[in-house]
Amino acid sequence: MNKWLALIGLYIAQGLPHGFFGQAMPALMREQGMDLTLIGLLSLVALPWALKFLWAPWLDRVALIAGEHRRSWIIAMNYSAVALLLLLASQPMSYWVDQGLWWMLAALLLVNLSMATQDIATDALAVENISYPQRGLGNAVQVAGYRIGMVIAGGGLVVTLGHWGWQATLLLLALLLAAATLPLWRFQPKPHQVGEHSVWQQWRQLFARGGIVWWLLMVITYKFGDAFGTQMVRPLLVDTGLQLTELGWLMGTYGFSAGLLGAVVGGWSIRYLGRQTALLAFLLLEGLALLSYVGISGQPQLPWTQILLAVGLEHVAGGMATAALFTVMMDYCRPSHEASDYALQSCLVIVAGLLASALSGLSATHLGYDGHFALAAGLCVAALWPVWQLIRQGQIAARTH
């Protein structure tokens, strides 16, 4: 039980800063009269999440405290983020915008660097300490914990911001982040064995593995269609006539609950379906879910039944597919290289999602919403091909053992 409490606490911790700053900062900076160009550049402070594979090998090799390889990094990074939040809470928002803008952006960049590094160590901790049959459940915990953190910060703390202000809200965020770290103190992970090879040899061995091209292609394409399609869901619903309050409830409360359900059901069912069936079935379900958005636009009245069905199905399928992909990504990690192997794979998922999101607007503009979601569903179907090739090569096990 201590293991699961520690992991869900750490994944909640990752979602807290991302949820708060992703939701609140653009609006806050605009309220302070900030230029839209600068607000757009704010997204660059999240760059460490896409580049974390560059320093991940060092987390496999170096311990900050002897005998505490994974925990030393996690605790150091979490409390570094807490210290940075306390620094930001020391002055009102107006001070940072008027006199310390670049210092604020630097602090936000360091918060993201700390949490991305914590994520490397936490994922490695999970790979080392979750048994093969339990990895589906472990990834359900990962997805669910992160979503819970996002909702607490992006929902609850944003509301708190309106009542208590910037400084008090950041103090509360720092307190929650520190509290989410506490269960880790009661969990003693397995000792980590440091590999004998250099970082360069480590990467060479990874890329020399049989089937590596198909594997990386699967990692890149598996969630590409989902990211490509869902980026245009909110514009579709706004153009259909939904009010922002309705959109907030639909994509926040309802969508979050559906995604949480999907992650839990998907992670739990992997143990019984097996990796192969889960990967294929959940990806196909994701494609069908995206097709359910076809026909919503252009109707004279809001098709609430179809909207609720589409949003619910898409979030459930997305949670299930994510749990399946993350499970086999864990399986692919080599002993002693868990941090670097998993970080590389997760970075590829992130970069592929960013590229898909960037291309989605062009698709919706030229094909219309119906054509766009049909294309997104087609991309999900196309992503079945590398999965099938890996199954044929024996790279993905049929059943847990």
Where residue 94 sits, what CATH number does that domain have?
Answer: 1.20.1250.20
Task: Please compute the mean of the pLDDT values over residues 128-142 and round it to a whole number.
Answer: 89
pTM of this structure: 0.88
Written as one letter, the residue type at 80 is S
What CA–CA distances, in Å, run from 117 to 47, 130, 138?
A: 12, 20, 19
Q: Looking at the structure, do residues 323 and 214 belong to the same domain, yes or no?
A: yes
- Domains: count for the chain: 2
Indicate whether 226 and 333 sit together in one domain.
Answer: yes
166 and 224 share one domain? no
Kindly report which listed range (153-167, 174-188, 227-241) carries the lowest average pLDDT score.
153-167
Verify that 143 and 272 share a domain, yes or no: no
- Residue whose tokens read 């079935």: 281
pLDDT at residue 256, rounded to an integer = 85
The overall average pLDDT reported for the chain is 89
Which domain range does residue 79 map to?
Answer: 2-186
Q: Among the three residues 186, 207, 238, which one is the final residue of a domain in this structure?
A: 186
pLDDT for the residue numbered 242? 82
The tens digit of pLDDT for each residue in 67-82 reads 788 899 999 999 999 9
Report the sign of the C-alpha dihedral through residues 15, 350, 112, 197, in that order.
positive
Same domain? 46 vs 176:
yes
Residues 217 and 182 occupy one common structural domain: no
How confident is the model over 48-65, as pLDDT tens digits?
A: 998 999 999 989 888 888
Residue 283 and residue 249 share a domain: yes
| pLDDT number for residue 195 | 67
Domain endpoint, select from 139, 157, 186: 186
Q: Are residues 32 and 80 in the same domain?
A: yes
Most trustworthy range by pLDDT among 136-145, 239-248, 340-349: 340-349
The 10s digit of each residue's pLDDT in 196-221 is 667 777 788 888 888 899 999 999 99
Q: Are residues 182 and 204 in the same domain?
A: no
Is the pLDDT reported for residue 36 higher than 80? no
Whether residues 216 and 180 share a domain: the answer is no
Same domain, residue pair 9 and 113 = yes
Is 8 part of a structural domain of the chain? yes
Cα distances from 155 to residues 200, 203, 253, in angstroms, run 43, 40, 9
Last residue of a domain, one of 141, 161, 186: 186
